[in-house]
A = this chain, B = another copy of it.
Amino acid sequence: MTPLDRGLDKARVLIEALPYIQKFAGKTVVIKYGGHAMLEQDLKEKVMLDLLLLHSVGIRPVVVHGGGPEINSMLTKVGKESHFIRGLRVTDKETMEIAAMVLVGKLNTDIVSMLNRFGGKAVGLSGMDAQLLQAVKKPMQMQNSQGELEDVDLGFVGEVEQVRPGILTTLLEQGYVPVISPLAGGEDGESYNINADTAAGEIAKALKADKFLLLTDVPGVLRDVENHDSLISVIEEKEIPKLVEEGVISGGMIPKVECAQEALQGGVGSVHILDGRIPHAILLELFTDGGIGTMFQP
């Protein structure tokens, strides 16, 4: 293959991407970034490059990141033990402070730093900046030994009460890529930890985003969980209840799908659950026919 032939091959690929680029130009895409794609250096770099490519062809990406494993490591490092209720970490003041430090001071800063090193214009935010996310304490009840329902205090675990997307609009209009840590301020002046999927969904709704992508560690919704070739590429919102009933959507997929459903109902164009373990998952989802994950549409 001569260099010219190689060049022509590349030109052909670029031209094949043109209809996708034209279709998505000016669209706002919210990406929940987490899981393996955030832990392995190589996948991480590829996510960054995907984001920058989207940005460079006129798409407006907004990143919301998670970070459970790193928070765990740091808690361990400072000798802080964790206590869980129904899978939710009881978050006392000190835990909250450490979570904030890891999310905002380490993970967010790393993402911003890497995007900018590759030529981007990223700006890190937490939900506290410009009062982007406002939270209330997440209520929870459990049966006590007498079988009565009792309030349980999870500490600084919050639910999103209001989103003020003004700062995002300002940044997007100036060509910046916002990278957001899932913290929120409460009216009580406290900081709250927010589930990253939920935070991303709420932000997608507030921005009336065209697309909301959830990077996960599963291939998408499989009709037969044992068979990766049974991936369902497109699910319409009205099909969801039946799929839940049939057990196709089950387990850890349920909260993801609920999150997707709420986003669709809030005006988001489509929601995509995709496998962040595949390199360039974002590009593959947006720029190839059919994509690689499961797309939920209204």
Contacts and interface: CB of A to CB of B under 8 A. Distances in A.
A15 interface: yes
A19 B97 CA distance: 29
Interface stretch (A115-123, A151-159, A235-243, A250-258): A115-123
A132 to B, nearest CB: 9
B183 A109 contact: yes
Given A22-B119, A116-B128, A11 B280 contact: yes
Interface in A90-117: 97, 100-106, 108-109, 112-114, 116-117
B125 A130 contact: no
Contacts of A86: none
Main secondary structure on chain A at its contact with chain B? helix
Interface string A56-86: 1110000000000000000001100000000
A25 B46 CA distance: 21
A119 B22 CA distance: 7
A18 interface: yes
A215 to B, nearest CB: 15
B124 A129 contact: yes
Interface string A174-186: 1010000001010
A49 interface: yes
Contacts of A287: 10-11, 14
Contacts of A176: 130, 167, 170
A234 interface: no
A1 interface: no
Contacts of A106: 97, 100-101, 105
A288 interface: yes
B58 A56 contact: yes
Contacts of A14: 13-14, 17, 53, 283, 287
A284 interface: yes
A16 interface: yes
A268 interface: no
Interface in A162-204: 166-167, 170-171, 174, 176, 183, 185, 189, 191
- Interface-centre pick from A108, A122, A131 (highest chain B CB count, 10 A): A131
A221 interface: no
B57 A280 contact: no
A43 interface: no
23 contacts: A7-B280, A11-B280, A11-B283, A11-B287, A14-B283, A14-B287, A15-B50, A18-B119, A22-B119, A25-B56, A56-B57, A100-B106, A101-B101, A101-B102, A101-B105, A104-B104, A104-B124, A116-B185, A123-B125, A166-B174, A167-B176, A170-B171, A170-B174
Which 8 residue pairs spanning A and B have beta carbons closest together? A105-B105, A101-B105, A11-B280, A101-B101, A104-B105, A13-B13, A21-B56, A11-B283
